[in-house]
Amino acid sequence: MSEQKDIDRTRYFELKKQLEEASRLYYKDGVSPMSDQDFDFGLKEMEALEAKYPELRGKGSLTQKVGSDLTNDFAKVAHAVPMLSIANVYSEEEMREFVKAAEEGLSSFVSRLSSKKWICERKIDGVSLSVIYENGRLKQAATRGDGAQGDDVTLNALTIADIPEYFDAKKLKIDPSEIPQGTFEVRGEVYMEREAFERLNEQFILENKKTFQNCRNTVSGSLKLKSVAECKTRPMRFFAYHIPQSNNKTHEENLKQLKRLGFHTNDYWTADTVDEIMAISEKIGASRDSLPFDIDGMVVKLNDLQQQRELGSTSKSPRWAIAYKFKAERAYTPLLSVEFQVGRTGAVTPVANLAPVRLAGTTVKRATLHNFDEVARLDLHYGDTVGVEKGGEIIPKITDVKRELRPAGASPVVAPEKCPVCGEQLTHIDGEVILRCENLHCKAQVQCLFEHFVSREAMNIENLGPALIASLLATGKIKRIPDLYRLTLEDLESQERMAKKSAKNVFDAIQASKQRSLENLLHGLGIRFVGRTSARNIAKHFRTLEKIRTATVEELQNVTDVGERIGKSVYEFFHTPLYTNEIDELVALGLPTEFKGVVKTLFQGQTAVITGTLPNMDRDEARKLIEENGGKVSGSVSKKTSWVLAGEAAGSKLTKANELGIPVHDEAWLMAQIANADESGDAPDENAGSSAGNFANEKASVSATPAEDQMSLNL
């Protein structure tokens, strides 16, 4: 018995670690590391083990709480009625058990209605949102968060055309008496249509930005953008589906009311029996490929609101609703070959080439294998018949292998030892699951390296974008970074769609970049782990390129915020012949070798934290100002924080600063300190400008401002 308990406990903590990490990635990073079904089955296994060993169950268990998407970048909004997650079922048997439990949980299941006991709706694969109106005007919008409180995303929600800013009776063609007075909360799902998602990803590819995994994750990230202007470029939609505090008698009446108020509501079907519910699920499932948006199941709710209240909820989910999740479509097809693709950072990813097979309305020929740990888990061999699923992923994934169909003598898929593009030895760094090509001049990485080198934060070569870089690479005009500085006007004019004036602008920008400072070059070289701040700190510390090239690892580690990892990386870079020869060429071509910035000490030894939206500059600009004046910018508030720079809609960082008694200042204070220091060299007055208390009061007054006025305040 003791041995079995040890086995069960080991399994429980394995599940706990796996599911907690999956939940964190899903809610915090917008990444889906496992399917919903695998997550739900793991959660049910945890529940069974907790029932067997109650001492394992704690308040923090995933089985007892709603997954949280809370971040530190937004103010928090307490939900008047908890925003719970809906429990999932995957089979008709489980659906029958749910309906039976609901009927038995009611004192009487004799509905006040002659029919329509259950409402069935498509389950949109999106992100829950609460939208609150005050006397018909939008006041606040919040994510689900941890169920008890969510992040205030009002300004981003206002960019979604489907969410009314106010209810206009004349425009809606309804009687003014129908406009809800007082507080009126609407809950719904923010989503993105597949076509819009694909266009957005195509645009990101053109701009050399990281693409999104699926529509749901795109929406999750978009709602948490700090830039309202950028959020406006994300084509999000909204379906309203719930009124938490309603005076109506049925859910169906709620949906009709929402539609009259101008909200988009999802289609719905009514049912009285499980047989009818399952028939509706087949109808919805059969139509999913023809819809413009992703659905992953069907939601079934009691129609009678009084019965909903009578059944109540658990700590996680309502007892009056269930989500019937559709199984991901799967097809089986032979594995023809495996390609090893080298990404922008040198990561080598295996991609399967398959015999064409129809899946979810499209023909699939390729599927991702994620990494070589996954290849090993599948025990994948060439010629295997593999299961392929397409559950909202950009590229379908291989889920399993039919080993009984494996051809005799089939060879296993093994990881390459050398880069398939440049032939360099691949490395496997401890703690990472990926193989990596460390050769920055590998052709697979060179486009990215050039784009990084010319970027604003590096050498800042204007008008030299990804398309022109690709063209120059394709025509052989550039192969390595020094080649940029050997380009002639004729070389540029010879590129497709390049006019003489445009070519001259690019040529002049390349020459002008020679006047940049050492930190720009150091950052642009693409040394692993060296970012903007560490490049500037290293350049400022050593002052010349020659001193950096001759510095020891220990000397590099003495630089502010340069630890062992960065120090070793910089040392190895400047002691690798491939790179040192290139540096010699760049120096000979006249690129900067000295730190040209003025070493300012206004904020020397001080650590600042930036939170909220500043009125006249973005956070990146504020960070630069602070760092240029000797300060350090941190991402979190602690006892070591010297002061906080706060704008409007400041969230938990402001709260923590007030709790710790840390000075809080605004943008005007920052600019005044810098101006005074430039004139007199005086140190900053920590008591000047907005105090923590004053700023908190200002913030509170702004929060009460009507939504349309908030937009003009650039919150």
Q: Active-site positions? A: 123
Residue 356 backbone phi and psi in degrees, to 5: -55, 135
Angstrom distance (rounded) from CA 667 to CA 673: 10
Contact 427, 438 (CB under 8 A): yes
Angstrom distance (rounded) from CA 157 to CA 431: 39
**H or E stretch at 697:** helix 692-703
Residue 215 labeled ligand binder:
no
Joined together, the tokens standing for residue 238 give 């909204």
Residue 335 backbone phi and psi in degrees, to 5: -85, 120
Residue 437 labeled ligand binder:
yes
Residue 41 labeled ligand binder:
no
Angstrom distance (rounded) from CA 241 to CA 259: 10
Q: Is residue 408 classed as helix, strand or coil in its secondary structure? A: coil
Residue 184 labeled ligand binder:
no
Cβ neighbours around 411 below 10 Å, total: 9
Angstrom distance (rounded) from CA 656 to CA 75: 12
Residue 419 labeled ligand binder:
yes
Residue 162 labeled ligand binder:
no
Residue 642 labeled ligand binder:
no
Residue 325 labeled ligand binder:
yes
Contact 40, 22 (CB under 8 A): no
Residue 39 labeled ligand binder:
yes
Sheet of 268-271, strand order: 88-89, 321-325, 295-302, 118-124, 268-271
Residue 406 labeled ligand binder:
no
Contact 256, 250 (CB under 8 A): no
CB proximity list for 529: less than 8 A, separation 6 or greater: 565, 566, 569
Q: Which of 218, 225, 434, 475 is nearest to 344 (CA)?
A: 434
Q: Return the sign of the alpha-carbon dihedral for residues 699, 705, 711, 713.
A: negative
Residue 65 labeled ligand binder:
no
Joined together, the tokens standing for residue 433 give 């699951």
The most distant pair of C-alpha atoms in the chain lies apart, rounded to whole Å, by: 89
Which residues, in sequence order, are bridge partners of residue 323? 88, 299
CB proximity list for 165: less than 8 A, separation 6 or greater: 137, 138, 158, 707, 708
Joined together, the tokens standing for residue 193 give 């249509």
Residue 37 labeled ligand binder:
yes
Annotation: binding site for NAD(+): 36-40, 85-86, 121, 144, 189, 301, 325
Binding residue positions for Zn(2+): 419, 422, 437, 442
Q: Which residues contribute to the annotated binding site?
A: 36-40, 85-86, 121, 144, 189, 301, 325, 419, 422, 437, 442
